[in-house]
Amino acid sequence: MPDMTEMKSRYSLIIALPVITDCLTFLALVYLLPGFTHLLEKPSGWNALLLVLFYILFCVGVYLIRKLDFQPGKSRWRPPAIFLNPKVRALLAFLFGLLMMTTVAYQIGYFESIQSIDTATLDEGDSSALLVYMPGALLGFSMLYILVLAFPVQSNIPVTSKKYPIFALLGLILANAMLLFTTTQAEAMTNALSLSDGIGVYVASFSILLLSFAPPRLLYQSKQPYPYGLISFLFLLLIAAWQVMQ
């Protein structure tokens, strides 16, 4: 059984983990995003595959966060109950799934292909595969996030376990990695569509990022006694939304 000094050190580390993760993500936004954006500006199957990989890792990260038990201690702040409601989480996961499906479709050139359908070259089977089965497959895969975010998950990793900080750090890093990828993809699409910079683009970008990535962080924060991670996360979202317009 760990002594009190070791437990206090572990609790302090767990509280600091989201701030550390957000600082590392900020550095990645500054130093890695420009080159990454250039890569995603031209749609390709490899980019779509990379997106799917990030998405799967993101789901793994959220699942790890949900497996964490609650840290003891009187909280100074708790997320409003509505944001932790499974129905609300299911709705937000569904919207994120639609965003995921749209992004994958953009990267594989689906929208361009449906605009150039020629009945002389496509029979009914090919047309059905293109217009029905492919969107259905993309939508079904993107809905994986609902299972991870909204369905019941047993929180059975106690704070006293040595795995707790490791799982917490891994979950936060994987969630922020998806945030980084989404920001990069949003910037690439903004450049490709020649959207003008302005407050409208900034507000839209911030709102999408907030609705997409606040649920995992709120779930993590609900298990911790202090909101420092939410403060650093808010600043990270503000910077990421600003980066989309660059």
The number of angstroms, rounded, from the C-alpha of 46 to the middle of its chain's C-alpha atoms is 20
CB-CB contact of 17 with 226 (8 Å): no
CB-CB contact of 92 with 149 (8 Å): yes
Query: Of 113, 112, 139, whose CA–CA distance to 127 is shortest?
Result: 113
- 17 has a pLDDT exceeding 70: yes
Cα separation of 110 and 193, whole Å?
Answer: 16
Q: What pLDDT is recorded for position 27?
A: 93
Band of pLDDT at residue 126, cut at 50, 70 and 90: very low
Q: Mean of the per-residue pLDDT values for the chain?
A: 82
Which helix (H) or strand (E) is 78 found in, with range?
none
CB-CB contact of 75 with 225 (8 Å): yes
- 151 has a pLDDT exceeding 50: yes
Cα separation of 166 and 15, whole Å?
Answer: 13
User: What is the residue extent of each domain of the chain?
Assistant: 4-244
